Chains A and B, each alone.
Chain A
Amino acid sequence: MTIEQLLIEKILPRVRKPAQYLGTEWNSVHKDFDAVPVRMVFAFPDLYEVGMSHLGLQILYGLVNQRENCLMERAFAPAVDMEAELRRAGLPLFSLESHRPLKDFDIIGFTLQYELTFSNVLNMLDLAGLPLRSADRQDDQPLVIAGGPAAYNPEPLAPFIDAFLIGEGEEAVLEILDLVGEVKGGKGRAFRSQLLERLVEIPGVYVPSYYRAEYTEQGRFKGIKPIHPKAPERVQRRVVRDLDTAYFPLSQLVPLSEAVHERGMLEIFRGCTRGCRFCQAGVIYRPVRERKPETLLAAAREIIKNTGFEEISLISLSSLDYGALDQLLPQLTQGCEATRTGISLPSLRVDSFSVKTAQGLPGRRTSVTFAPEAGTQRLRDVINKGVTEEDLFKAVEAAFDAGWFAVKLYFMVGLPTETIDDLKGIADLVNEVVQIGKSYSRGKKRPRVTVSASSFVPKAHTPFQWEGQNSRDLLKNKHEYVRELVKRSRAEYNWHSIDTSFLEACFARGDRKLADVLEAAYQKGCRFDGWSEHFRFSLWMESFQELGLDPVDYAEKSYSYDEALPWEVIDAGVSRDFLIEEHQRALAGKTSPDCRTSRCGKCGVCSSLKVANCLVKGRGR
């Protein structure tokens, strides 16, 4: 029996949500596997329902499959029941489209959305029948590459991945595929050693085996040095200069099995220059590049026609900042009328303008979410979140006025310089929002106010990369303290697992030594660490201990400016000086302006990457 037959007859009858393994989604591309010279599988190290909502997958899938001489298929992390079935039947992990083993592809490409999917990367390699470590894989086995935001600190995964692609993939993936085609020639397989020799020449490619991590005698990290003549000192990220003409998928995959978000995705711009100091996305996607409204309207029409989705979402890091909303929205709304397609904004800016804009859009209205992030003006200045109390109250009022009956507020606990006043401040803000809500009660029912609090995780390449995370005990006390206060105003308080944020912090600033911890934890059974029902913290702690590494040191350590940092082998374009200055301004409580509306803040991205903010209406003021 082929994998496909076994799957359909023996395995699918026994697993939950079998439709996710069929691979027959609308707009899925099924090419003649044996007739296509270069084959890549996009490996998403999380469940189907998460991966199918991911824009990066849709972009690369469409882009690569447009090319006649290439194919891209998909593989997601199999759910736990499916993994058991595969292992029991001795079947390898397969791609969804042609149900071929991952081993049959030239390239296995992982996307790393965040650190807690790393154990799934190992699991997928293992299920594919590949040795976990690059050094143990045979030369003719598939090339394993990885990209995505968590690749900006690639070190903890360095021994497992042949090459990382840093930055935006649209152009670089095609260069990689071309190269593989060339090196492969007409042969069955390109040798990895030959491939890497050439891949290292592609800008944005980091080949970890061409570098050595150096430590002092005390075991302190000293730096990462190239040990291969072609390997650059630092690997600069890739960036698409002109997004307006860049490829965008119009025939997007329509999930068969339920996904987190089922909607057409319209990426209206990329990058955000608001400069929140904890935010990694705000650094690694700079500068802002907006698409023209004409381009977007034409794309939206096609997406609706090709997918039949009930909703189209305007994707970006802060969609309300789009410069031509006044042009785009009325026309888009009109275009969506006949098919009753809803329009959604992934998040609202904290102001009444946002609310009024969202109110005018067709579509479902569940709850409205605002992210003030911190409880006092002082701390919001520290993190450079340009939001005032008044903004928030006005936004909330506008939301209730517009008929929303549920408000969600996002806060971060454990931010640098935080004091008890800042925590109190959260409760005060929430209380005020609840009071505003009271006057909008319907009979006995009051609007629902929910607080969702996360714990600060220092991320690589941000102004807060030098800051340690609060200890777990402290975070716990802080969350409990705020929850008690918030409870008095009868709002709901939810907080993310502290253990999870702690592990995330370890890996976000981890070095190569963590690879051993990761492997050990994986061997003990860790996977789906981002899912509370699967997260097994004690196994992680055991693994750290066995390897003599202290997780507390990784998560809580504050670095000084003259220390080398493991992720500095990656050049995100933003200068070190700028990050230091931003860090110092943060500590001094000074805000910095947004270069989208104000002067250039000299972060270094535009000069070093030879790009510029590209705004449909030109720079304001």
Chain B
Amino acid sequence: MSRYRLEYMKKDTARYLSHRELMTTLQRALKRASFPLTYTKGHHPRPKLSYGPPLGVGVAGLREYMDLELDRQISSREYIQFLNDQLHPGISARDLVQLDPADMGLGKFINLACYRIELDSAISSAITTISWEQLFNKLEEEYPGLKEGLLKWCADPVEGYLEVLMQVGQEGVSLRNLLEALNKGIGTTVLLPSLVTRTGLFHLENGMITDPLNKCTYLL
């Protein structure tokens, strides 16, 4: 048995797939690409696949991950190509690495996500009256936990985007709550999931940030 981690992206129109739709899509693409998937036993065998934190309908993801168990070792280069030949527009496989047998798995590993929210001019001008600083300070009131979960944020009014680094899997901390809170704070409804891109998923431990392919480590 070999375990692999796949890095893929979901963007353009594919951003409108729900997590479930994406899972089915990937699973069928892996099948068509003849990956030697390992299946569970029993009457209703399922491939042993596990996915990173779900991405909401409308949200794009540039570096998303899934773990797969395979019956044998494969050539990553070759199989990325096979897979990409079977993927829908907007979804593509970027990297495939074999995991250390001791790897804790995506579910435990990922506890941090980075989101980028596009702001249109309407928001940027509305925001001049109330500063981002004030806005984020006010988040606390209605969404307990949200503020602590937001480790970092930065707004770039010139480029027109807002970037946030947010904990994953904490009570009350979710993109949905954040968008809701921001919309309320600014007094709009225009911050929709379709303006959001998840740019990365990470593991944070002792002030150090690592990506799931273990390629880079940063300081928080």
Contact = CB atoms under 8 A, between A and B. Distances in A.
Interface of A: 8-9, 12-14, 17-19, 22, 24-26, 254, 256-258, 262, 305-310, 339-340, 342, 362-365
Q: Which of A17, A18, A363, A364 has the most CB of B within 10 A?
A: A18
B18 A308 contact: no
Given A18-B58, A26-B88, 4 more contacts: A19-B21, A254-B28, A256-B25, A310-B27
B193 A13 contact: yes
Interface string B45-84: 1010000000001100000000000000000000000000
Contact of A308 (B13, B17, B21, B27): B27
A311 to B, nearest CB: 10
A25 B28 CA distance: 12
Contacts of A310: 27-28
Contacts of A26: 25, 28-29, 32, 86, 88
B183 interface: no
B44 interface: yes
A256 B88 contact: yes
A600 B142 CA distance: 76
Contacts of A307: 28, 32
Contacts of A257: 21
Pick the 6 closest A-B CB pairs, nearest first: A308-B28, A308-B31, A18-B16, A13-B194, A308-B32, A340-B45
Contacts of B57: 17-19
B83 to A, nearest CB: 11
A12 B12 CA distance: 12
Given A24-B89, A256-B21, A308 B39 contact: no
A308 B49 CA distance: 15
Contacts of B47: 340
Interface residues of B, number: 29
A305 to B, nearest CB: 7
A309 B24 CA distance: 9
A96 B28 CA distance: 21
Interface in B68-108: 86, 88-90
B179 to A, nearest CB: 12
Nearest to B190: A13
A258 B57 CA distance: 14
Nearest to B12: A8
Contacts of B17: 19, 256
A25 B14 CA distance: 11
B39 A365 contact: no
Given A18-B57, A309-B28, A8 B44 contact: no
A94 B27 CA distance: 30
B43 A306 contact: no
6 contacts: A8-B13, A24-B13, A26-B86, A254-B28, A256-B25, A340-B45
Contacts of B32: 26, 305-308
A215 B28 CA distance: 57
B121 to A, nearest CB: 15
Contact of B31 (A9, A19, A339, A342): A339
Contacts of B18: 17, 19
Contacts of B192: 13-14
Nearest to A340: B45
